[in-house]
């Protein structure tokens, strides 16, 4: 009798554990994303660049809100022609790393489809390089062949805001793909502005994993 009762208890525990595994809800996730970035601010040009991000998200209690934290990196350079020659050189190089926190509201929150939008603060780190003492070396015909110059780097921190809209499609309970659209900008002027400064607009794709 005792053995039968013990066996029933063990089977009951095992069955509950198996059911829990099949019905387990995976609500935290990590993502990687690649986004095209357009720069528009104090500079007149609108230039493309690529932004790479690693993201972590989790729901806030039992609400339709999600907290997302991410680390992003972008590198961009501009090229100039040396006077009337056919030789170009990189005259400015900018690297931007940001730490972003966003609070997203899930407008659509279904098993397969999720659409969310929100905003949050950003911490910016800019590293800007400029060229000085640019000189051209000519060949025997007087044509410029090579250019020499030196780099001078400056760096600065800044604080910004980001607006974000995301769409996520669940391939399985764990695997995710999605699209992202965002706008961000710094709040304060900086002595190291570079080409990644002002209003930054992004659009791209992401892949994620729930756990």
What is the tens place of the pLDDT at every residue in 96-137?
Answer: 999 999 999 999 999 899 999 999 999 999 898 888 888 778
- Identify the band that residue 45 occupies on the pLDDT scale cut at 50, 70 and 90: very low
* pLDDT tens track for 54-88: 999 999 988 899 999 999 999 887 777 777 677 77
Which residues does residue 146 pair with via DSSP β-bridges, in sequence order?
137
DSSP lists the bridge partners of residue 205 as 34, 179
Name the pairing type of β-strands 88-109 and 113-138: antiparallel
Task: Give backbone dihedrals phi and psi of 20, rounded to 5 degrees, phi first.
Answer: -65, -35
10-37 tens-digit pLDDT: 544 555 544 444 445 678 999 999 999 8
Range 26-210 classified under CATH 3.30.1490.190: no
State residue 168's pLDDT score.
97
Q: Are 41 and 197 in contact (CB under 8 A)?
A: yes
Tokens encoding 204: 């791209």
């Amino acid at each position: 009798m005792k053995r039968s009762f013990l066996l029933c208890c063990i089977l009951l525990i095992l069955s509950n554990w198996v059911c829990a595994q099949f019905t387990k809800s995976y609500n935290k996730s990590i993502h990687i994303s690649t986004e095209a970035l357009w720069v528009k601010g104090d500079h007149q040009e609108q230039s493309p660049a690529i932004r790479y991000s690693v993201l972590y998200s989790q729901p806030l209690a039992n609400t339709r809100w999600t907290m997302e934290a991410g680390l992003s990196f972008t590198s961009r350079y501009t090229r100039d022609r040396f006077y009337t020659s056919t030789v170009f050189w990189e005259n400015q190089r900018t690297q931007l790393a940001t730490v972003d926190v966003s609070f997203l509201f899930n407008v659509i929150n279904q098993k397969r489809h999720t659409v969310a939008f929100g905003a949050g603060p950003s911490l910016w780190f800019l590293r800007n390089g400029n060229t000085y003492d640019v000189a051209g070396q000519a060949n025997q015909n007087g044509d410029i062949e090579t250019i020499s110059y030196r780099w001078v780097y400056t760096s600065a921190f800044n604080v910004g805001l980001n607006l974000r809209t995301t769409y996520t499609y669940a391939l399985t309970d764990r695997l995710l793909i999605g699209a992202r659209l965002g706008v961000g900008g710094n709040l304060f002027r900086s002595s190291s502005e570079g080409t990644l400064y002002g209003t930054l607009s992004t659009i791209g794709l992401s892949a994620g994993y729930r756990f």
